[in-house]
Structure 1
Amino acid sequence: MYQLREYQTNLIAQIIKSMHSGHRHIIVQSPPRTGKTVVMAEIARRTTLKNNRVMFIIHRKEVLEQAELTFKKQDVNLNLATMGMVQTLTRKVDKLPIPNLILIDEGHHALAKSYQNILNKFSKTFVLFFTATPVRTGRLQLDQVADDIILGQSIKELTENGYLAPFRYFESPNDFDASKLKRSSTGDYTNKSMDEAMSSTIYGHIVKQYQRIAQGMQAVVYTYSIESAINVAKEFNEAGIAAAEVDGKTEASSRDRIVKQFRKQELRVLVNVNLFTEGIDLPNVDCVIMARPTTSLALYLQFSMRCLNPRPGKTAIIIDHANNFQKFGYPDDDRDWKQAIITQDKGKHKATTENTVQIVQCDYCFAVIRPSAVKDGKCPYCGNPVKVIIPKRVADIDLIEARRNKIDEIINDNVMQNVADKKPNELHSMKELKAYAKLHDYKPGWVYFQGKMKGLIKK
């Protein structure tokens, strides 16, 4: 069985409390990479332990297979569990046993007709909608199907406590013409428009920026089409960097072989077309390269957070060739999910409490930098003068103000200056760890975790 983490146990406790308060359809928000499937498996175990039936719904075969293994390992009574893809379950909904609890993975899809067919059939059943991003691209939001929302720990808190790796974010110069992008009926950009918008030089730029910023790291590249993925993999291989391309048409045996090679580090780069997003287990990724734009916050977070699995001393690298940062900000920005689930009246724009502040981008190394990390007007990563300012929208203006006020403190703190351009694996004392945490607004829990891993704290 899996040993649940503290934040996972707390999440289950909140769910139980909400149910006891009379809520029956509950959104459970928790960031990517936080083990939502394990939480669902534990809830399913407790449900079947009481001889109650549970139904698990997902929309992708690969994720279903992985979830079935997780449920089995967690000692769920599978005789009392119905697990399947929504496409399958909705076709035979009249023949399904009545569940006491329905668990929906990636619950932001739940307004689709296939899900609604199942939910309408079992209208009196408790339903938990698990999702990292409880927001849809259309007008109708999840308040149409849910009566409560539970918020898990934020990405910042999870990073501070060592459950996610810290990261550095680089936004590469424009490799595409955004004016050519057009949306499809799903709300995201069409493949044709992305192909027209992308410059052919992007393939070489991707390799060049990887070599400059993340050389030697295990990297996953997200592209928008099979042709573009093949081109990117070709450029890496021609540069002497072992890479392979996988997509939805790749045979299962070939894909499994390629993933195993990547896990064994026989391949350095895995280029894919929308495969390694929701739920797929790929633990040893240290770098993510986004070579496609998106209008979907859910997709952006799945892309950018793929590399945040923690390891002592690790700092992940995110390279953005598609200006997704300018649309969505940092992966760990605070977001008002309670407001996000509310459907607005027709003709009205969605209300927002966001405020425009400034984020710094280095014109030399293209790092996107929090203002608190700027020292003497220089980039903390390459030491060159900072030239470019990007307007950015964030949810918490007070937090940004607090960071701005730290600039004077950073300048006057020698230790903080010394660690500004270092990575966590280059910190060798508790004093340096504390200064680094102060610089990046990490909580004491991060210092303790790193100190323990480095042997600076006796167990």
Structure 2
Amino acid sequence: MTSFLMQSGVRLLAPHLKSALERGAEVKMLAGDYLYITQPDGLRALTAIDERLEARLWRSMGTSFHPKAYLLDYDEGEGLLIVGSSNFSFSALKTGFEWNLAMNAEVEPYTFRNALDKFMESFYHETTLPVNPDTIAGYEQEYQRQHQKNPEMLRKITDMEETEVRVQTPDAVVETAERAELTPIHPRPSQKDALEALEQTLEEQYDRAMVVMATGLGKTYLAGFFAQRFIRVLFIAHREEILNQAKQSFERIMPDRSLGIYNGQFKEGATDVIFASIYTLGRKKHREAFRQDAFDLIVVDEFHHAAAATYQSVIDYFQPKFLLGITATPNRMDGQDVYALCNGNVAYQIHFIEAIRRNWLAPFQYYGVYDDTDYAVIRWLGTRYDEEQLAEAQLRESRAEKIYEAWNRYKQSRTITFCSSIRQADFLSEFFRSQGVASLSLHSGTREMARPEAIRLLQEGKLSVIFTVDLFNEGTDIPAVDTLLFVRPTESLTVFTQQIGRGLRLAEGKSHCAIIDLIGNYRNADVKLQVFRQDGEEAGRGKRDGGLPELPEACSMELDIQVVNLLQELSRKRLPYREKLHRDFLDLKQELGRIPTYLELHLMGRGKTIGYRSEFGSYVGFLYWAELLSEREQEIFMRYEAWLRDAEKTVMTKSYKMIGCSIC
């Protein structure tokens, strides 16, 4: 894992990496796009070494990404960790003045295991991209633009290499001040309903299922109640605090069972119930430390992450009697289909709107406040806005004043504010403090106070506002929060739903949650209110009428008149359906590095595959429209277009039809 990857470094190490791969080693390389120094040709050379080599690119989005580490993990506790100043280049590895420290895994096993876990966590982080021809081409465009814009890049490289990088400490694990007494507890009504549905699933002899429950309804406790009927249980999560919280929850349900943690620090693999980090089990030697049939039940928390490669390797390896996925947001941000991982079997599902109707969650009052920022002039990079241009628009005192005014008008007592970047969080926190508000910008670089302390002060009312980026999307329980402030463009409806859930937990003295949402002409602004529709489905064609969703009696929705006008205008200008399908296809093509098969498009694409058939007659027809067929393929398509259309839409009820489709 290095900040910069140069072609000279790839040439130097290519034969050694190739040799390792041929001996059966796993080789993973993570490089960064920080300052656009990593060379596109170096990335191409790296992928050309061997198709078994897995490489990813960290999208720094303007923040520092400056690691230099080389990890060699051997069998039976042996290994070597090299940390230092050498990037992936010939001069850094051979001729330059560099300092590197090598550490033997047998001497410092804890540090070595922790480094491996942190590497895997970084490698599969949501800000990384797989390195393939499509992603390299996208990066190269930005690389060339930045180098043309800044001809002094070599000087900047030298300056940065000489600058000491501040080491960031990981977020502290959130733990309760005192461990809850291990008194027996019983299922809530929502958990009873879900347990009955799971019992029915077992009776129908399914071997896997997904439960979709809104944040705050006790998904982890549900898993614990369900796990009582199984002898050996594996609980998988992607964050340490989730593992610890889950272990505490299971202890209350089954105090007579042995429970253990399996992560970088602990390897308690002989207990009845194991709470394991996905980043530890994602490494071959750790998952293969268990038999494939070692567990009767596997629970995958935050199941919407399970389509990622690191989860797939674990799910494919183990053969439990039952696999249970639990999540509040079943739709992945990248569109990949998690329903397929549970064979389409959703045992139980309840939307947060229905939970509010049943008084299981707190009601809300939603305020859509007009944001006059012109997002149309901010460059869109495919999955996000340009970091610098977005910051330039957001870090203005006039905008901070409008945000403060909206918050002051609608707020209650305890607020979490979701920002676009660390810089925006710091900027707004400083502005609110200047207005006499007790506030804190809380993120990975915060040194003022630890995360558990900040949460405690917010709960006690000694802090009024916490500004953060994505810190509280998952796995954090702060029932006392009664105000949510959104000062960032909504790029993902999944993330937006998760963040709303942070304010809907029931708490003593809490009548409702105030949701203050700044809405401008950013992407997805015209569809974001769909998260309040109980069916939870994205509106289809002809349904973008801008109408407000039907809410429970205790809830309300109030939009500025400018917001109403804006949403109607954006809905009229919405990307034509064909172009949307094309964009969804290109996103998946970039992820895979090639044209996806029709099945891959169905399982992993954002768009509904029936749309390709209805708009273009067939998937091949779409590829013809998109000019992605070779001349020979175009000739075949034109000659047999009618047959291809029939083959794709014919119901598979007779053997000769199935054979015809398989040939297609």
Match of 2:305 in 1: 109
Q: 1:59 to 1:175 in 2, by over 3 A?
A: farther
SS of match in other structure, 2:502 = helix
In structure 2, C-alpha distance between the alignment counterparts of 1:6 and 1:356, rounded to whole Å = 35
* 1:22 maps to 2:205: yes
Match of 1:130 in 2: 326
In structure 1, C-alpha distance between the alignment counterparts of 2:501 and 2:415, rounded to whole Å = 12
* 1:332 maps to 2:524: no
SS of match in other structure, 2:228 = helix
* 1:275 maps to 2:471: yes
- Matched residue type, 1:332: F
Shift of 1:303: 1.2
Match of 1:87 in 2: 279
Q: 1:25 to 1:199 in 2, by over 3 A?
A: same
- Matched residue type, 1:294: T
Task: Select the residue among 179, 186, 190 that pairs with 1:3.
Answer: 186
Cα deviation, 1:281-334, whole Å, max 9, x if unaligned, reads: 111000001122233222101112211123566121111124566332154312
- Matched residue type, 2:287: V
* 1:217 maps to 2:400: no
User: RMSD value over aligned CA atoms?
Assistant: 3.2
Shift of 1:188: 5.2
Cα deviation, 1:78-123, whole Å, max 9, x if unaligned, reads: 1211112211122211113521111111101111111111111114
- Matched residue type, 2:249: T
After superposition, residues 44-193 of structure 1 pair within 5 angstroms as 44-47=227-230, 52-75=231-254, 77=257, 78=259, 79-91=271-283, 92-96=286-290, 98-147=294-343, 148-179=345-376, 180=378, 182-183=380-381, 187=383, 191-192=387-388
Q: 1:163 to 1:297 in 2, by over 3 A?
A: same
How many pairs were matched up? 360
In structure 1, C-alpha distance between the alignment counterparts of 2:289 and 2:442, rounded to whole Å = 36
- Matched residue type, 1:310: L
- Matched residue type, 1:94: E
Q: Is the 8 A contact 2:208 2:342 kept in 1?
A: yes
In structure 2, C-alpha distance between the alignment counterparts of 1:191 and 1:36, rounded to whole Å = 35
In structure 1, C-alpha distance between the alignment counterparts of 2:535 and 2:497, rounded to whole Å = 12
* 1:314 maps to 2:511: yes
- Matched residue type, 2:280: T
* 1:235 maps to 2:431: yes
Cα deviation, 1:153-203, whole Å, max 9, x if unaligned, reads: 33222112211111111122225333325356xx45564564355352432
In structure 2, C-alpha distance between the alignment counterparts of 1:132 and 1:380, rounded to whole Å = 22
In structure 2, C-alpha distance between the alignment counterparts of 1:225 and 1:153, rounded to whole Å = 32
In structure 1, C-alpha distance between the alignment counterparts of 2:469 and 2:536, rounded to whole Å = 30
Q: Is the 8 A contact 2:366 2:557 kept in 1?
A: no
Q: Is the 8 A contact 2:519 2:563 kept in 1?
A: no
In structure 1, C-alpha distance between the alignment counterparts of 2:563 and 2:375, rounded to whole Å = 23
In structure 1, C-alpha distance between the alignment counterparts of 2:248 and 2:489, rounded to whole Å = 33
Q: 1:221 to 1:359 in 2, by over 3 A?
A: same
SS of match in other structure, 2:367 = strand
Q: 1:96 to 1:387 in 2, by over 3 A?
A: closer
- Matched residue type, 1:152: Q
SS of match in other structure, 1:307 = coil
Higher gyration radius (CA): 2
Shift of 1:250: 3.5
> Structure 1 stretch 292-301 or stretch 108-117: which is displaced more?
292-301
Shift of 1:235: 1.5
Match of 2:391 in 1: 195
In structure 1, C-alpha distance between the alignment counterparts of 2:448 and 2:273, rounded to whole Å = 26
In structure 2, C-alpha distance between the alignment counterparts of 1:285 and 1:169, rounded to whole Å = 15
Q: Is the 8 A contact 1:221 1:289 kept in 2?
A: yes
- Matched residue type, 2:290: L
In structure 2, C-alpha distance between the alignment counterparts of 1:387 and 1:294, rounded to whole Å = 14
- Matched residue type, 1:85: S
Q: Is the 8 A contact 1:304 1:331 kept in 2?
A: no
After superposition, residues 354-365 of structure 1 pair within 5 angstroms as 355-359=543-547
Q: Is the 8 A contact 1:171 1:325 kept in 2?
A: no
In structure 1, C-alpha distance between the alignment counterparts of 2:430 and 2:314, rounded to whole Å = 44
In structure 1, C-alpha distance between the alignment counterparts of 2:442 and 2:374, rounded to whole Å = 26
Q: Is the 8 A contact 1:63 1:279 kept in 2?
A: yes
In structure 2, C-alpha distance between the alignment counterparts of 1:211 and 1:387, rounded to whole Å = 19
Q: Is the 8 A contact 1:289 1:319 kept in 2?
A: yes
Q: Is the 8 A contact 1:133 1:298 kept in 2?
A: yes
Shift of 1:204: 2.5
Q: 1:371 to 1:242 in 2, by over 3 A?
A: closer
SS of match in other structure, 2:329 = coil
Q: Is the 8 A contact 1:188 1:296 kept in 2?
A: no
In structure 2, C-alpha distance between the alignment counterparts of 1:307 and 1:372, rounded to whole Å = 16
Match of 1:285 in 2: 481
Match of 2:501 in 1: 305
Task: Select the residue among 203, 214, 220 that pairs with 1:37.
Answer: 220
Shift of 1:385: 8.9
In structure 2, C-alpha distance between the alignment counterparts of 1:380 and 1:261, rounded to whole Å = 30
Match of 1:417 in 2: none
Q: 1:18 to 1:387 in 2, by over 3 A?
A: closer
In structure 1, C-alpha distance between the alignment counterparts of 2:432 and 2:238, rounded to whole Å = 32
Q: Is the 8 A contact 1:54 1:80 kept in 2?
A: yes
Q: Is the 8 A contact 2:211 2:346 kept in 1?
A: yes
SS of match in other structure, 1:321 = strand
In structure 1, C-alpha distance between the alignment counterparts of 2:275 and 2:452, rounded to whole Å = 23
Gaps in structure 2 of 5+ consecutive residues = 1-183, 260-270, 572-664
In structure 2, C-alpha distance between the alignment counterparts of 1:352 and 1:22, rounded to whole Å = 34
Match of 2:145 in 1: none
Q: Is the 8 A contact 2:295 2:320 kept in 1?
A: no
In structure 1, C-alpha distance between the alignment counterparts of 2:389 and 2:307, rounded to whole Å = 27
Gaps in structure 1 of 5+ consecutive residues = 341-350, 361-368, 374-378, 394-459
Q: 1:249 to 1:16 in 2, by over 3 A?
A: farther
- Matched residue type, 2:302: E
| Structure showing greater relative contact order (alpha-carbon pairs closer than 8 Å, 6 or more residues apart) | 1
